[in-house]
Structures are given as C-alpha cells and as structure tokens.
C-alpha cells in the first residue's frame, strides 16, 4: 500500500500568519493518464470532511484563495497564506492514484 | 444541490452484520464512482471501499476485505455497504462520498458501534 505521511501533526499558528503542511507519499502519485490524484481535505470540529484542493493544486469552488496546493511526484504541500480563525481543524491529504486509497494521518491546526 | 444521506448505523454485537445505505440526490448517480470512508472516535480518516459507476469494479481496504461488500443500485440512486463479521475495531462514523480519486461531496455519516 502507498503510505502517505503528513508533517507536522500539530500546527499552532498565529492569526494572520502563514501555515504550511507537508504530505509525502511512498510512491509516485502520477497516474497513467498523466494526472496526479492528490487531494487536501479540511475537517472542522464536528463536521464532515470538506475537499479544498484536488489534483495537487486545483482549488474547489468556494474555497478561499488563501489556500493553495503545490507539489509533484511524491512531495506535496498545502499552504494557507494568512490563517483565519475559521481555518481551525484537521487537514488531511489523500492519494487517489493507487489502490487502496490512503489518507495521511492528519494535521491539527489551531490558534496560538 | 448534491446530497448524500447515510443510514443504517447502530449498536451491534461482535460477529454481527449491518447494511449501511447512502441515499443520494442532486446529481446523476449512475455517472459517478462512489466511496466509503470511516473515522473511528477521535481518530483520522480511513478509506474503506469504492465502486465504479456501473458497479463492475470494486476495491477494499485490507482491514475489511472479505468481510465488507460494497454495492449500488443506480435505479434507486443508492450506495450500500454490507458489513459482516463485525469487530470492535470497526466502530466508527461511516461516510459515503462521491468520486473515488478525491471525493468532492460527503454525507454526514452514520455511526456504527460494535460492542457486547
């Protein structure tokens, strides 16, 4: 199975400051069609997961542009340019290239 | 509006069975691959199973392979998860989600508790 490793697992941030989460996979996530199926999800307390980013860097509709995704191959990053209070929650990356699909362990973002 | 509504979760004894359902609306169900994801209390997300749009292809996590069966009824716009030989470690909130490369829409989940 493809192992997906996130870091850090806990990320205390100051309001208005940037934040960055790393996601690394044990195998390349490039699919045979050339697409890279790496997504990022946000889970606020008590809520279902919400997809923020798909295929590495595509932001979902309604997602603030302070969220951005980047990376390639096995190394990916989610960045929040200026953290707001509503960004508190757990963030997960997920690979959708290989079977079985796998999630990272999650990164808990809270306010210092 | 896309909606996914899970049901069927309840308290069940170890070794028992349950069938979860996910009723969908607001999109053309038969055009989408579908996924089940679970979350144990206080833990992270765990991918469980997925099925192709026509039901012809299915995949499972090793932890459930041979015990769980995913299926769908495109005439009823509904996704299912048949869960047999349940174990304590299957206790979780089970979500259904649309798509299998990186699910865009998720339901609210249905809680399965396996305990004697």
Size of interface A-B (CB pairs under 8 A): 59
Note which residues in 27-86 of chain B have CB less than 8 A from chain A: 35, 37, 44-47, 50, 59-62
B34 CB burial (10 A radius; 0-12, 13-18, 19+)? buried
A98 touching B (Cβ < 8 Å): no
What does the pLDDT average to over A2-9?
A: 98
Average pLDDT of chain B to the nearest whole number: 97
- What are B50's two structure tokens? 């997925």
Task: Report the alpha-carbon distance of residue A104 to residue A25 in Å, rounded.
Answer: 9
Three-state SS for B92? strand
d(CA A52, CA A42): 7
- What's the rounded Cα separation, in Å, for the pair B63 and A90? 24
- Give the model confidence (pLDDT) of B23-39 as tens digits: 999 999 999 999 999 99
DSSP 8-state class, residue A99: S
> Rounded to the nearest 5°, which phi and psi values hold at B31?
-95, 0
pLDDT tens digits, residue range A47-87?
Answer: 999 999 999 999 999 999 999 999 999 999 999 999 999 99
The model's confidence at residue A1, banded by pLDDT at 50, 70 and 90, is very high
Q: Which of A2, A49, A50 to mutate: most B Cβ within 10 Å? A: A49
């Amino acid at each position: 199975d493809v192992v997906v490793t996130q870091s850090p697992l806990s990320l205390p941030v100051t309001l208005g400051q940037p934040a960055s989460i790393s996601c690394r996979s044990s195998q390349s996530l490039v699919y045979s069609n050339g697409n890279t199926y790496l997504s990022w999800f946000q889970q606020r307390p008590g809520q279902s997961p919400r997809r923020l980013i798909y295929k590495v860097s595509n932001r979902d509709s309604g997602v603030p542009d302070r969220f951005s995704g980047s990376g390639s191959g096995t190394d990916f990053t989610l960045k929040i340019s200026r953290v707001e209070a509503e960004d508190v929650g757990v963030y997960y990356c997920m690979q959708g290239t290989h079977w079985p699909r796998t999630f990272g362990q999650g990164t808990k973002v809270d306010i210092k | 509006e896309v909606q996914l509504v899970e049901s069927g979760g309840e308290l069940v004894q170890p070794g028992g069975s349950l069938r979860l359902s996910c009723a969908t609306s607001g999109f053309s169900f038969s055009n989408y691959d579908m996924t089940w994801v679970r979350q144990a209390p206080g833990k992270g997300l765990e991918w469980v199973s997925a099925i192709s749009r026509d039901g012809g292809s299915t995949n499972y996590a090793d932890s459930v392979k041979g015990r769980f069966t995913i299926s769908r009824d495109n005439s009823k716009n509904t996704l299912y998860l048949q869960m047999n030989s349940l174990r304590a470690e299957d206790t979780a909130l089970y979500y259904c989600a649309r798509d299998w490369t990186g699910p865009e829409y998720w339901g609210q989940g249905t809680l399965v508790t396996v305990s004697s």
